[in-house]
Amino acid sequence: MSNLSEFIGVGIKSVQTGITATGSFPTDVTINAVDITKSFICINGAISSSTLVTQYGIASLIDSITVRLSRISSNAGATYTMYWSVVEYY
């Protein structure tokens, strides 16, 4: 787990963003390779197509090229649109 002191004095190397819409979870998304020891992922929201309300999602870096998206919801039949970003620093 990173803490804020690790980011002081370093710059951002890359930012990859995505919008993934799916009804099947967990879902894996392929990204450009990053150093997972110098990267973190943010999930910016998940919207359900059936309820049109914000849902909760989980995103994790499985390896250097894979983001895994999961949802926290009991609405299994809905399509969810999830917004995510992977930030890699030097």
Predicted local confidence at residue 7, as pLDDT: 59
Pairwise CA distance, residues 45 & 5, whole Å: 27
Pairwise CA distance, residues 52 & 45, whole Å: 12
Predicted local confidence at residue 82, as pLDDT: 87
Show the CA angle centred on residue 70, arms to residues 78 and 27, nearest 5°: 85
User: Residue 85: pLDDT above 60?
Assistant: yes
User: Residue 78: pLDDT above 90?
Assistant: no
Q: What confidence tier does 51 reach under pLDDT thresholds 50, 70, 90?
A: low
Predicted local confidence at residue 21, as pLDDT: 87
User: Residue 5: pLDDT above 60?
Assistant: no
pLDDT top residue among 23 and 41? 41
CATH of domain 4-89: 2.60.40
